[in-house]
Structure 1
Amino acid sequence: MTDLKIGVVGIPGKWSTEVLADEIEKRTGFRLVIDIEKVVADLSIPEVLYQDQCLCKLDGIIIKKISQDYSPQVLDRLEILRFVECCGVKIYSNPAEILRLVDRMSCTVSLAKANIPMPKTLITEDVSAAYDAVHRFGSVVLKPLFSTKARGMEVLDSSTDKKTLQKQLKAYKEKHGFLYIQQKVQLPGHDMGLVFLGGEYQGAYARIGDGSSWNTTIHSGGKYAAVYPPDDVIEMARKAQAQFDLAYTTVDVAETEDGYICFEVSAFGGFKGAQEGLEINMASRYTDYVINLLLKDRNGELDAVS
């Protein structure tokens, strides 16, 4: 046991949030699930309160989930946590790094700069350019800049008549602003999530679609299973996540006719894929990782977790 006070920013009642809080409580006797919507930041004192707990007096915070859905509002919530970090509280993962990931465009640009293989992508506000891209790519997926689990994504095809296709693109732009267009790739019925903790590879699970949707997400009926990617794919995923200073993440990878590609690096990383697909309790591993870092920072040496 340790006397560290570690809070979990997440969704109260949700499995991934609660299982992480459970693991922390086992090791510290302290439990605090923080609903970020109810946090009050008074920068004049300064003080950041959740209920009766001042977050600036915690030893650490793990960000498990910042919102049910991604939106620009998430950025403001992360800014509050950046302020808590300035008070000396260690936060995992770094809020500034998460800021670079919740916006799909920022994540894509970072991966492209690192030459990580991705689907052909075009980002524009010009409907005419978007129309040309659909015809060049054949079949595409329109993606919101802020979304998770394929929510808000739409599939368009170049075989659609010009008037209808232009109408679809204009409607999407009116709703989402930017037109983020990726070529729709043919998947072998599954894609993979490669799990990393502190930059170290932990294992991989597959999301296997049930055939009812174009995507393989669990939200759309997929299921988890163990998978064993080749070494070069693991290294590609390692390089992708290394573009961001994250304590814990999963990298979404898929095999295509032209080789393996990376879809994205997760801002938070889930636990259920590793739990159900690999029978690995990543909430437990993550908790030990954070506690050891905090003890090392406190004592100047790595203490074993009892």
Structure 2
Amino acid sequence: MINKRIAVIGTPGKWSTDVLANHLEQHTGFRCVIDMSDVVLELETGKLRYGDVLLNELDGVVIKKISETYSPAADDRLRMLQSLEADGVRCFSSPSQISRLINRLEGTAALASGSVPLPPTRVTENTDEALNAIKAFGKAILKPLYSTKARGMVVLDATDGDTVNTQKLNAFKSEHGLFYLQKFVNLGGQDLGMVFLGGEYLCTYARVGDANAWNTTIRSGGKYQAFDASPELIELGRNAQSCFDLSFTTVDIALTDEGPVVFEVSAFGGFSGALKGCGIEAAEKLCDYVLSQLAAETAEASE
């Protein structure tokens, strides 16, 4: 047994949270799954408490999921966790780095600054400018700034005309405010999830879409398959994830007629795709990585 107290921040009862907590318990004898909705932050002391557990006294936390959905409230939870880092508790991944990916605009802006190829993208509050973007793209995906798995996304086609698209834009704006529009790209029925652990390439899986859905997400009927990525494609994924400093992540890549593009870098990454698509126990590998990092830090401190 390794004498470390490492908690998992996630959703109690969910497979990805529990499988990681199980692996950590097997190695350390300690199990703690933290639901952020029940965490208390004492601002005057910087202490975080979850029931009887004082998070500041842990050796580390692994942030598997911060919320079931992305929202400004999810970002607030990450800001609460930043006090742990300030108190010397190692977080996998850093809350400040995850926070950069909760908001779609901040995440893709970082990728664009890193010269990572993206679908053409326009961001505006102006309805007329949004209509101009739809006409320029021919077909566009309107995306909320806070969402995952294609939730809340709207397909807009220039051939539907200004009246129809204006109605859709106004309905979207009343709920989300800002227009984030990306050119609709032909996925060829699949997109890729490229998995990295500690910045090192692990595997690539494909999400093969259902014929009746415009996206390839698993919640829309997509299926995982193995994919043999070329060295050039792996380098693209490596460059994309290097825009952030994450312990574990998945880079979403599409192979389009005009070459590969990156949709996003995941704030948390998915264990299911690596397991079902590649046969790799990513949760176990992340556990091993976390323990090796903490062991190295302990050894360095004792020198």
> Structure 1 length normalisation: TM-score?
0.97
Letter in 1 for 2:146: F
The residue aligned with 1:208 is 208
> Is residue 74 of structure 1 aligned with residue 66 of structure 2?
no
1:47 CA drift (Å): 2.1
1:27 CA drift (Å): 0.3
Which 5+ residue runs of structure 2 have no aligned equivalent?
A: none
1:165 CA drift (Å): 1.1
1:168 CA drift (Å): 1.0
CA distance in 2, matches of 1:9, 1:270: 15
- The CA RMSD over aligned residues, in Å, is 1.1
CA distance in 1, matches of 2:254, 2:268: 19
Bigger CA drift: 44-53 or 184-193?
A: 44-53
> Is residue 187 of structure 1 aligned with residue 187 of structure 2?
yes
Alignment of 1:117-128 (within 5 A): 117-128=117-128
CA distance in 1, matches of 2:234, 2:35: 34
Letter in 1 for 2:170: K
Alignment of 1:251-290 (within 5 A): 251-290=251-290
Letter in 1 for 2:96: A
The residue aligned with 1:37 is 37
CA distance in 1, matches of 2:165, 2:300: 61
Counterpart contact for 2:46–2:83, Cα < 8 Å = no
Residue 203 of structure 1 aligns to a residue whose secondary structure is: strand
1:229 CA drift (Å): 1.4
CA distance in 1, matches of 2:17, 2:87: 24
The residue aligned with 1:111 is 111
CA distance in 1, matches of 2:108, 2:2: 40
CA distance in 2, matches of 1:103, 1:195: 21
Residue 70 of structure 2 aligns to a residue whose secondary structure is: coil
Counterpart contact for 2:208–2:224, Cα < 8 Å = yes
Q: Deviations over 1:99-127 (max 9, x none)?
A: 11110000111111111111110001111
Q: Deviations over 1:66-95 (max 9, x none)?
A: 010000101100011001111110001011
Letter in 1 for 2:155: V
The residue aligned with 1:237 is 237
The residue aligned with 2:147 is 147
Letter in 2 for 1:262: V
The residue aligned with 1:304 is none
Q: Deviations over 1:9-44 (max 9, x none)?
A: 000000000000000000000000000000011122
Letter in 2 for 1:297: E
CA distance in 1, matches of 2:244, 2:35: 25
CA distance in 1, matches of 2:106, 2:215: 22
1:4 CA drift (Å): 0.2
Counterpart contact for 2:205–2:224, Cα < 8 Å = yes
> Is residue 14 of structure 1 aligned with residue 44 of structure 2?
no
Q: Identity, % of aligned pairs? A: 48
1:188 CA drift (Å): 1.2
1:267 CA drift (Å): 0.4
The residue aligned with 1:177 is 177
1:46 CA drift (Å): 3.8
**Cα 1:157–1:92 shift into 2, 3 Å:** same
Letter in 2 for 1:17: T
Bigger CA drift: 40-49 or 219-228?
A: 40-49
CA distance in 1, matches of 2:230, 2:90: 35
Which 5+ residue runs of structure 1 have no aligned equivalent?
A: 302-306
Residue 147 of structure 2 aligns to a residue whose secondary structure is: coil
Residue 151 of structure 1 aligns to a residue whose secondary structure is: coil
CA distance in 2, matches of 1:178, 1:220: 25
Q: Deviations over 1:136-155 (max 9, x none)?
A: 10111000000001101010
